[in-house]
Structure 1
Amino acid sequence: MFASLMNWMRDNNILPQISDTERQALEAGDVWIDGQFFSGAVDFDSIIKEPYDKLPAHEQAFLDGPCEQLLDMADAYKMQRTRIVPDEIMHFMADNGFFALQIDEKYGGKPFSTQGKSAVMAKITPHSGVLSSLVVIPNSLGAAELLGHYGTEAQKAHYLPKLANGEYIPCFGLTEPTAGSDAASIKAEGEVFRADDDSIQIRMNFRKRYITLAPIANLISLAVRLHDPDNLLGKGEDAGITVVLLEKGLPGLHIGDHHEPIGEFFANGPIVGRDVVVPVEQVLGGQDYVGQGWRMLMESLAGGRMVSLPATGISAMRVAAAATGAYSMVRHQFGIPIGRMEGVETKVGKMASLSYMFEAARVFGCSAVDHGVQPPVTSAIMKVYSTECAREVGTDAMDIMAGSAVMQGPNNILGRGYCSAPVAITVEGANIMSRTLMIFGQGATRCHPHAYHVVEAVEKNDTDAFKRSLLGWLKQFSLGILLTFIAGLTRGYLGVKAPRSVASDTRHYYRRLGWAARRFGLMTNLAMFFIGGKLKARGNLTGRYADIVAWLYIATATLRRYEAEGRRQEDRVLVDYGVQYALAQIQHAYEGLYENFDGALGWFFRTVGRIGIGVNPLAKMPTDQQANAAAQPLQRYDAQFLRLYEGMYLPKDTEVGLGRLFNAFQLYHEAEPVRVKIKDAQKSARLVRGKVDAVAEQACALGVISAAEYALLKSCQEACLRAIEVDVFTREEFVGQQPHGVTATGNGGQRPETETPLMQAADVA
């Protein structure tokens, strides 16, 4: 019976079909807490024990020392205008190990933890996109990482010290005109042949594009499809995708041209090769790794997606949130801070909670990688949803800061990041593809407790293994139906494993998340049973599944942070809004699933099921009161604000940009007691009615406030006015005939008599 069933499932494409490249992706990395979500049975007590690490002391010292110094040195606006990174900055980065965070000490490196690398990238990115690219590429997927894992001893000894000291600037050549998100379909070709001197060589022809750092790189890790017509390497005629190391200057290699990325400048361009010949020893890892390029990439990306792009997205989110919270208080309209208007306040509250949640997810995920877990599904979630939510937060920030955000110049805090948001969306696979194809498509098979075993058994025609795995699956499926029904009927009070070791005031969130996960496990099984091999074509459906598991992870990470940081009651407002928001996103995704589920169960879900989840929802969107409460931590310059946004670069120059805004915000907070005194005097009729600033002088004369308090209030008023000013350029500055200087408004109305000439520097543009 089982043999017949196995043959029927294979012949009718009941199970997902897995190609060789998909298999390598599925077998790369590890199943982490995402496996509990796909099974439908979540043990939150075990999840709360998962690591949530703090940075080691030496890494924190690097952030507080060299990182701060680098950003103090870097005039981000000048580099954006001139597309030049000064030599002194490049030398400083090389001398202080900014290129070496992925390299072992014995090769001259400064190895950092995953979280440490992520924190460095997060600190640098919002200040300067070009500096970010110079840190991200050498310290994430690329030559140093691949050499460290797979390189021969000779390759490591030659390349790693020169990568560490900046002598080699690396880039990774993967994307092509016809191979973007579907990177496995690359057409770059390498042909193995025997040269006249009897050595084995590779002749390559390729055309790569969108390669970050390519215009300034002198070491390329190139992915090619290797052909060996004479089987000189013993791997067959089609040896498969292979990574080859190329150095700049090879005959036939053309590198140095530029693309022009949207938004903030960074070096990016094409690489073209015509009959480029290298010895076979240039295969990364040597002959043993011929044909293993795709596996190497998948293994590196399994945890690597947790690092650079989430760091850049989340850092942009945090800076936008902090700046917007500050601006909402120093900018007044109709006699009140705009942050006290409900429409603005609601957006600020959402921004505050999302930045808290995603920072939690970043630290939680990086901690897992640092403890040896390489979770490809969770890493993909972090890449997709951190960059998407960063774009959403950036849009809200632009709406609130309005004219201050759309007028470009040294004082514009948001503009470059806002314009650059699509870059992160497209890198390492476009988000729309990762969401609709990868997260659930890979997760449903890889993270499910039984599915992959069943698929393997069918492919191997192993009846005994098929029987064991299928019976285990059917048992899990049957139990899932019962427990999901019970959980729904009792709103998670029964049918889910109740956590014992968590704060009592947040236990109800675990209950609802457990209920949501129960349903997700059941719905995953139904999709695989009733849609099966057609799932790949149902991108809208799989995208909704991805939304559910993503927000399950993000909400769980939020609760993990709350526990790890000592259950700070002042953070509860962010946790409350955030987890409620995540549950509402899960509810919305379930509604979409029910309305669009096809096959034999479609009618049931569209009618009975849809009515049921409408009457008995997981959650609704956060209330106005929750939004108001969540906004407050962003609208007070106090210890909580500084703690929540530690690790973010706070410029020391209080006359320009973010430094100017935060200076005004701090003064506004310090002057609040003075304003309270004046308002109380107005209420008691000691002072006339009117705006605080208008009656402050009279309040001082009458003794309501002291002379020192009056001076503080006046300094606050002046700082707030400066903080909302935008840049003004002379015609010569605007058209580029003169270098930009301190603008009239940015310098308190005083233009300097002389301009400092541009520093002679290395042109990386």
Structure 2
Amino acid sequence: MFQSIMMGMKNAGMLPRLSDTERQALEAGDVWAEGEFFKGNPDFKALLAENYGQLTAEEQAFLDGPCEELIAMCDTWEMSRTRQVPDAVFDFLAENGFFALLIPKQYGGKGFSVLARSTIMAKIQAAGAAVAAIVVIPNSLGAAELTEKYGTEEQKAHYLPRLAKGEYIPCFGLTELTAGSDAASIKADGEVFRDEDGHLKARLNFSKRYITLAPIANLISLAVRLRDPENLLERGEDLGISVMLLHKGMEGLSIGARHDPMGVSFHNGPIYGENVVAPLANTIGGIDYVGKGWKMLMESLAGGRAISLPASAVGGARMLASVTGAYSMVREQFNMPIGLMEGPQAKVARLAGLQYLMEAARVYSCSAVDAGHEPPVVSAILKQQLTELMRSLSIDAMDVMAGAAIQRGPNNIVSDAYIGAPINITVEGANILTRTLIIYGQGANRSHPYARTLVESVEAEDSTRFRKALLGWVGGMVVNFGRSMTRYLTRGRSAGTPVSGATATYYRRLGWASTRFAILSDLAMIFMGAKLKAKGNFTGRLADVLSWIFLCTATLRRFEAEGRRAEDLPLVHYALNYGLKEIQDGFEGVYANFDAPVVGWWFKSVGGWLLRLNPIGKGVTDDLLAPAAAVVQTHGDHLQRLQAGLHVPAESDRGAGRLYRAFRMLHEVRPVHAKISQAIKARTLPKGHPADLVHLALERQVITAEEAEQVRETRRVQLESWGVDEFSPEEYVRIGSSTAVTEGFIGKDAPRPKLVASGQA
């Protein structure tokens, strides 16, 4: 019977057909927390026991020392105006090991953990996009990581020490005109031949674009599809995708032109190659790894997506929450801080609550990678969700700061984050693709307890394995249907919780959400089958549900890991109520668009009504806003703890520095303001702003002379912090005007990175 069912499913095309590249992507990495949600009954005790890492003393010292020094020496406005990074900055990066974060110590690197690299990448966003990119690219997917993981001993010995010292500046050549998010469709072509010297080489032709650091790079990791028409390797003509190392100066290689991404002055440009000849031994991993490039990339991205782009998003979000909270209390209208008005307060609360969630997800996921996991689904969630959240939070910050946010200049704090947000959303696969194809598609195939086994058994025509998988799947569905009904009727109480207190309800609701998600996944795969692969909007909604279940779980993990601090509860409540509403919205979208006979009708009618009658989450209520906003609006130890790992500029600095100074001084002068307010209530003083009444308050002995001076100085600093930049006509014209552009950031007389002879490996 099972044999006939298996063959019927195969012949009917009910199961998706996988290409070699899709199969390699699915085989990359492993299943981590997301597997618990596909089961429908997550083990929250196990998830809370997962590693939530901390930096070592050495890593913390690097964060507090060289990172702070780097940021202090970077004038982000001047670099954006001139589109140049000073030579001194590059020298500092090289001398202090910023290119060596992931390289093992035996090769002259730092050998830092994934969490440390992510934390460093988040912090140095304050140094500006150009400097951040110079650090991020050598420490993420590219020459160093791929060589360290897959390179031959000779390649490791040659490249890694030079990459660590900054003698090699790498870039990774993948994206092309016809291969953006569909990176596997690259047209870069290489033909294998035996040269006159007897060595196997490849003649390469390619056109790459959007390559970060390309204009200043002297070492390229090139993704290219190799052919072997003479079958010299005895593997057939099509060898597949390989990653080859090319050096600047090779004949036929053109590198150095610039793109202009959103006017953000990080180095990005095209790479062209016409009949570039490179030894086949320049393939990362040597000749044995020819054709294994796609698998290498997928394996590296499985955990890698959780590092650089999420770090950039989290660094930006935490900065925006900090400065917007301060600004909302420093800026006044109608004689009161705008942050106490409900409209701006709601924006500040969203910034505060969601940055807490984002940081939780970053640390939780990086800790998993450090523990040996390579979770491709979770890393895709982080990339897509955190960069999207960063974009929306940058809009919130712009809304609160209003005029001060739109006037560019050295005192503008938030415009660069707003302008640059779409860039992170676009790179490493556009977020549209990540949401509609990767998160749920890869998750369902990899993380579902039976789906992959079922597909593999059908392809192999293994009826015994098929029977076990099918019976397990059916049994699991029956159990989850029972769970789903019980958890619906009890509003999740039957799901249980590993903790007590204020957060217990969230575990119950997430358990309830996971059961419903598992049931919907099963029904979608059964009734839509292979067609599910093309239903991007539908799978995108399932991806949203999965993503927010994970993000909420990470938030709870952070709260536990940091000691269940009562002062953090306003942020936890905001983040969890926000996330549960996102889950509810995702479910409603799935129900409304479940296109299948009978089952689809039920979801769109009775099921949809029941879903809305008893929602998993109703969203953030007004009573949660003021407490969440107050966390970043109140100067003190709690705020400083939440700012750990974030660069807080000196009060003498323009922009954020002068804002933080006013924020602190207003906090310190509050008791004096309170005296004046009490005198107003007692009618000792007329109504008005305390700063306008200071002379009268002193005269009537409401405050002392020292307190009066404190009020006056605070008001002066406060008004100064509201100011925006202005330029003379000559200065305005000169901003952004063309200047003599040197080759990248290396000055004319500065020492150049040492170039290695073309083709050397």
| Other structure's SS at 1:201 match | strand
CA contact (8 A) 1:85 1:763 kept: no
Distance between the aligned counterparts of 1:10 and 1:537, measured in 2? 19
Distance between the aligned counterparts of 2:85 and 2:643, measured in 1? 28
Q: TM (normalized to structure 2)?
A: 0.96
Alignment of 1:406-485 (within 5 A): 406-485=406-485
CA contact (8 A) 1:263 1:417 kept: no
Residue in 1 that maps onto 2:544? 547
Residue in 2 that maps onto 1:750? none
Distance between the aligned counterparts of 2:736 and 2:122, measured in 1? 33
Alignment of 1:110-509 (within 5 A): 110-494=110-494, 496=495, 498-500=496-498, 502-509=499-506
- Among 629, 635, 646, the residue aligned to 2:627: 629
C-alpha change, 1:759 and 1:222, in structure 2 (3 Å) is: closer
Residue in 2 that maps onto 1:733? 731
| Other structure's SS at 1:179 match | coil
- Counterpart check, 1:31 vs 2:28: no
Q: Give CA-to-partner distance per residue, 1:27-48, whole Å, 9 cap, x none.
A: 1111011000111111111111
CA contact (8 A) 1:84 1:763 kept: no
Distance between the aligned counterparts of 1:509 and 1:263, measured in 2? 43
Residue in 2 that maps onto 1:753? none
Distance between the aligned counterparts of 2:688 and 2:94, measured in 1? 58
Distance between the aligned counterparts of 1:221 and 1:760, measured in 2? 26
| Other structure's SS at 2:138 match | coil
Deviation at 1:762, TM superposition (A): 6.6
Residue in 1 that maps onto 2:757? none
Residue in 1 that maps onto 2:16? 16
CA contact (8 A) 1:84 1:762 kept: no
| Other structure's SS at 2:645 match | coil
| Other structure's SS at 2:616 match | coil
| Other structure's SS at 1:172 match | strand
C-alpha change, 1:760 and 1:169, in structure 2 (3 Å) is: closer
Distance between the aligned counterparts of 2:662 and 2:199, measured in 1? 69
Deviates more, 1:26-35 or 1:15-24: 15-24
| Other structure's SS at 1:464 match | helix
Distance between the aligned counterparts of 2:436 and 2:205, measured in 1? 33
Q: Give CA-to-partner distance per residue, 1:428-468, whole Å, 9 cap, x none.
A: 00001100000001001100011000000011111111111
Deviates more, 1:202-211 or 1:707-716: 707-716
| Other structure's SS at 1:262 match | coil
Residue in 1 that maps onto 2:759? none
Distance between the aligned counterparts of 2:335 and 2:199, measured in 1? 81
Q: Which amino acid aligns with 1:158?
A: H
Residue in 1 that maps onto 2:587? 590
Deviation at 1:61, TM superposition (A): 0.5
- Among 532, 535, 542, the residue aligned to 1:535: 532
CA contact (8 A) 1:263 1:418 kept: no
Distance between the aligned counterparts of 1:763 and 1:127, measured in 2? 23
Distance between the aligned counterparts of 2:737 and 2:602, measured in 1? 67
Q: Give CA-to-partner distance per residue, 1:565-614, whole Å, 9 cap, x none.
A: 11110110110111010000000111111001111211100001100011
Deviation at 1:288, TM superposition (A): 1.4
Distance between the aligned counterparts of 2:671 and 2:352, measured in 1? 25
Deviates more, 1:154-163 or 1:5-14: 5-14
Deviation at 1:650, TM superposition (A): 1.3
Deviation at 1:760, TM superposition (A): 8.0
CA contact (8 A) 2:328 2:337 kept: yes
Deviation at 1:499, TM superposition (A): 2.7
- Among 638, 642, 645, the residue aligned to 2:636: 638
| Other structure's SS at 2:734 match | coil
C-alpha change, 1:165 and 1:674, in structure 2 (3 Å) is: same
Distance between the aligned counterparts of 1:19 and 1:77, measured in 2? 48
Distance between the aligned counterparts of 2:646 and 2:640, measured in 1? 9
Residue in 1 that maps onto 2:657? 659
| Other structure's SS at 1:505 match | coil
Distance between the aligned counterparts of 1:415 and 1:260, measured in 2? 17
CA contact (8 A) 2:669 2:710 kept: yes
Q: Give CA-to-partner distance per residue, 1:251-290, whole Å, 9 cap, x none.
A: 0000000000114210000000000001111011001111
Distance between the aligned counterparts of 1:301 and 1:412, measured in 2? 35
Gaps of 5+ in 2: 739-745, 753-761
Deviation at 1:479, TM superposition (A): 1.0
CA contact (8 A) 1:168 1:219 kept: yes
Residue in 2 that maps onto 1:525? 522
Distance between the aligned counterparts of 1:708 and 1:162, measured in 2? 60
| Other structure's SS at 1:504 match | coil
Residue in 1 that maps onto 2:674? 676
CA contact (8 A) 2:81 2:736 kept: no
Distance between the aligned counterparts of 1:738 and 1:109, measured in 2? 37
C-alpha change, 1:623 and 1:232, in structure 2 (3 Å) is: same
Deviation at 1:761, TM superposition (A): 8.1
Percent identity over paired residues? 53
Distance between the aligned counterparts of 1:14 and 1:59, measured in 2? 51
Residue in 2 that maps onto 1:648? 646
CA contact (8 A) 1:41 1:518 kept: yes
Gaps of 5+ in 1: 741-757
C-alpha change, 1:592 and 1:109, in structure 2 (3 Å) is: same
Q: Give CA-to-partner distance per residue, 1:287-343, whole Å, 9 cap, x none.
A: 111111010000000110000000001111111111111111111011111111101
Distance between the aligned counterparts of 2:253 and 2:387, measured in 1? 34
Q: Which amino acid aligns with 1:430?
A: A
| Other structure's SS at 2:230 match | coil
CA contact (8 A) 1:220 1:246 kept: yes
Deviation at 1:711, TM superposition (A): 2.0
Q: Give CA-to-partner distance per residue, 1:701-746, whole Å, 9 cap, x none.
A: 3222222222222222111111111001112211118999xxxxxx
CA contact (8 A) 1:381 1:439 kept: yes
Q: Which amino acid aligns with 1:449?
A: P
Alignment of 1:709-748 (within 5 A): 709-736=707-734
Residue in 2 that maps onto 1:49? 49
Distance between the aligned counterparts of 1:11 and 1:611, measured in 2? 38
